[in-house]
Amino acid sequence: MSNDIQTYSRQGFGAQLELKAPFGLLIIDLVNGFANPDVFGGGNIPQAIANTVPLLAEARKRGWPVAHTRIVFADDGADANVFTLKVPSMLGLKEDDPNSAIVPELAPVDGELVVRKTVPSAFFGTSLAAWLTHRGVQTLLVAGAVTSGCVRASVVDAMQYGFRPLVVSDCVGDRAIAPHDANLFDMEQKYATVMTRDEALAALSKAEA
């Protein structure tokens, strides 16, 4: 055990969250712009998208509530904010901009919520928490991009709203691997369960039994 893990363990971090049904799936910002390394992508985001395809199929098969998010700013930029001061190119993500569209292989179907947001968290200023609560979700699987940004912000808010986040480690990606790894470690110690897709689906099958 590394010194870091020993320190966290000694201080009481990293307790296991019981995975309680009902389950839901949140797919964060897997849009064309984040799939493209020349726009907002790179790193292991392509692998995260590929790994999320069967996860989404399984969620649909099991009848879980599914929500997707997109970053969408007004055509005239009237809703520009501090986030866009830090990353001005985000203002290019408009409703009809192809870079803001969800990648075709993960396109929503009828009954799945699409959350439009202008900040990292999927919950801040949106109806997502109420939508999940209305459907009874207790454990929320999280996929998407980027691990150190919108994924992390959404996971922290999910926990604060009383959901049990389960970060699907091979279904989240970042344009740089060091922040991806660091944030998976930190979320597992403080806010969430972290499992690979196959580990998560096996564990949830047992919980549903």
Query: Is 10 a member of any domain?
Result: no
> For residue 67, what are the domain limits?
21-208
Amino acid 1: pLDDT: 47
Query: Is 54 a member of any domain?
Result: yes
3-state secondary structure of 127: coil
Looking at residue 108, which CATH number applies to its domain? 3.40.50.850
Query: Is 177 a member of any domain?
Result: yes
**Residue 101 near residue 69 (C-beta atoms within 8 A):** no
**pLDDT (tens digit per residue) in 70-92:** 999 999 999 999 999 999 999 99
Q: What is the side-by-side strand order in the sheet with 23-28?
A: 113-117, 66-71, 23-28, 139-145, 164-173, 193-195
3-state secondary structure of 196: coil
* pLDDT over 60 (residue 125): yes
Q: Which residues are tagged catalytic?
A: 150
Locus of tokens 């980027």:
146
H helices present in 141-176, as ranges: 152-160
Query: Is 193 a member of any domain?
Result: yes
Query: Is 115 a member of any domain?
Result: yes
Rounded distance between C-alpha atoms, residue 139 and residue 30, angstroms: 21
Query: Is 144 a member of any domain?
Result: yes
* pLDDT over 60 (residue 197): yes
Query: Is 59 a member of any domain?
Result: yes
Q: What is the pTM of this model?
A: 0.96
Q: What is the mean pLDDT of residues 182-204?
A: 97
Q: CB under 8 Å to 158, separation ≥6 — which residues?
A: 26, 123, 140, 142, 165
Q: What is the mean pLDDT of residues 160-174?
A: 98
Query: Is 14 a member of any domain?
Result: no
Locus of tokens 């790193």:
43
Amino acid 36: pLDDT: 98
Rounded distance between C-alpha atoms, residue 14 and residue 5, angstroms: 9
**pLDDT (tens digit per residue) in 3-15:** 778 999 999 999 9
Beta partners for residue 172, in sequence order: 144
